[in-house]
Amino acid sequence: MVFSELYFVFGFFPLFFLCYYLFGKLFGLRGKNVTLFLFSLFFYAWGEPVYVLLMFYSTILDYTCGRIIEKGHNTENQRLKKTGLIISLVGNLGLLCTFKYLDLFIETLNYIPKVNLPLAEIALPIGISFYTFQTMSYSIDVYYGKVKAQHDIVTFGTYVTMFPQLIAGPVVRYSTVEAELMGRVENIDGFSNGLRRFIVGLGKKVIIANSMASIADGLYNPLNPAASTAHNISELGVIGSWVVIIAYTLHIYFDFSGYSDMAIGMGKMMGFKFLENFNYPYISKSITEFWRRWHISMSTFFRDYVYIPLGGSRCNTLKWIRNILIVWFATGLWHGANWTFVLWGLYFAAILLLEKFVLGKYLKKLPVINNIYALFLIVYGWVIFHMDNMTQIGEFTRTMFGGSGLLGDGKMNVLTLMSQAEIGTVSVAMFVIGAIASTPILGKLKKASEKSAVLPVLGDVALLAMFIICVAELATGSYNPFIYFAF
């Protein structure tokens, strides 16, 4: 089940909140947590009935490890504490390696001469990268005394399975919601603001992200070229390749930030305050700044649980470079079981090192140029991220910079391909709307309007109109993928 589907919007969503508030009224906090826990299990089981067992495994594993670590704290038994932590790390990383990376490992071994192992072909459980990181971070935080071990397994299970951010983030740490799991207060302002945030996220996803996805994938989809008008990258030419990657750049931002907005909004409606996950990343003046604004929950996770334990920047230069390379290798690999994702991570590692040692002092002195510099590198990074293999990356890069001519070298020119992909006036308008919405302009206008007595009402009318448009789009069965479900 996904948020941008009619049976979620008009079925699951209202039924959940009706039960949540009803049982909260009857049974207090316990009623709210049990309702959230059970509905979250149903939400996940809708698409992954068998893999619910993995969630039970993660819940029981880290609940138990937390108690073991706590006992080690209380008895000052360092061995017991370390045992609990090691079991958590091995259990969670083992789960990820088995279900996400086993085939990548086998494929890599098969490059060795005379090695031809069969692939396991295990289906990837949706959201496994998110909930394993969350449960693992809990055990680590208990180990370092940042949070207390949770003694109620239902409350802990509520944290693990919480459906708003379960399958595509943001990565919510136990420390950020610990107090709210144990006692939270909902009010009409929180509910209404959360509902507004949910509608904004839905609009980002359905109106902008889906439009950009239909353009990018309509012209060229590396995972399914047969479904696109261009069956070879070279057919796109300079114009087509840039249209594809700019559309993808907008698609991935509005798709993922839209999901995060919906998750944060629903959290507010329940009394939770999830941390922000995006802060206008495409206005960054450097790649260093970009990674402070993009997928913030993941970036801070790797900073706090990998980079800092390795020594961070408080070490000699060679060790610091090592730390950067390890973190970005892991960041790339987290995104998918393909060496292209590792290349994508190391691509950013190289740029970050270059900014640290060479470019950083110059970028601060070059306004506008630093924005263009960062945006160009970000967009090209999505080429590496989007393509399915190294050959496609090389061919797409060659095509972007004129290797197949301005209009492509296929039998059909790019203008014909675009017409077949139904790129028209509406699509061009979506490009413009997406470009504007990816900057703080609309946010500043909204903040300025709050001083008026009339404009906030007009804003709510606009949100209602946006919601109606979204429903109309979903009713037509429009193209509706979520990128980060694959990670």
Highest mean pLDDT out of 215-229, 281-295, 467-481: 281-295
SS3 per residue for 363-408: HCCCCCHHHHHHHHHHHHHHHHHHCCCHHHHHHHHHHHCCCCCCCC
What is the number of other CB atoms lying within 10 angstroms of the CB of residue 137? 23
Residues of the chain with pLDDT > 70, as a percent, come to 94
Predicted confidence at residue 218, as pLDDT, reads: 84
Q: What is the pLDDT averaged over residues 368-375?
A: 96
pTM of this prediction exceeds 0.85: yes
Give yes or no for a cis peptide into 170 (omega within 30° of 0). yes
Q: What is the pLDDT averaged over residues 467-474?
A: 92
Confidence of residue 313 (pLDDT cuts 50, 70, 90): confident
Residue type, 369: I
Query: How does pLDDT run across 91-131, given as a tens digit for each residue?
Result: 999 999 999 999 999 999 999 998 899 998 888 888 888 89
Predicted confidence at residue 295, as pLDDT, reads: 93
CB 24 within 8 A of CB 144: no
Predicted confidence at residue 229, as pLDDT, reads: 80
Query: How does pLDDT run across 25-65, given as a tens digit for each residue?
Result: 999 999 999 999 999 999 999 877 888 999 899 999 999 99
Residue 419 has pLDDT above 70, yes or no: no
CB 264 within 8 A of CB 204: no
* Separation in Å, CA 473 to CA 12, 210, 372, 470: 19, 10, 34, 5
Predicted confidence at residue 145, as pLDDT, reads: 93
CB 342 within 8 A of CB 333: yes
Provide the annotated active-site residues. Answer: 335
Distance CA 19, CA 23 (A): 6
Residue 411 has pLDDT above 70, yes or no: no
Phi, psi of 313 (to 5 degrees): -100, 0
Tokens of 312: 């961070």
Give yes or no for a cis peptide into 440 (omega within 30° of 0). no
Per-state percent for the chain, helix, strand, coil, to nearest 5: 75, 0, 25
Residue 206 has pLDDT above 70, yes or no: yes
Residue 423 has pLDDT above 80, yes or no: no
Predicted confidence at residue 127, as pLDDT, reads: 85
Cα distance from N-terminal residue to C-terminal residue, the chain = 16
Q: Is 117 helix (H, G, I), strand (E, B) or coil?
A: coil
Q: What is the pLDDT averaged over residues 467-483?
A: 81
Where would I find the H helices in 402-454? 414-420, 425-437, 441-449
Of the candidates 53, 78, 483, the residue with the CA atom closest to the CA atom of residue 295: 483
Residue 424 has pLDDT above 70, yes or no: no
Residue 353 has pLDDT above 90, yes or no: yes
Q: What is the pLDDT averaged over residues 141-162?
A: 94
Residues of the chain with pLDDT > 90, as a percent, come to 68
CB 135 within 8 A of CB 172: no
* More reliable by pLDDT, 223 or 395: 395
Distance CA 198, CA 263 (A): 7
Distance CA 114, CA 116 (A): 6
Query: How does pLDDT run across 225-273, given as a tens digit for each residue?
Result: 777 888 888 888 898 899 999 999 999 999 999 999 999 999 999 999 9
What is the tally of helices (H) and strands (E) in the chain?
23, 0
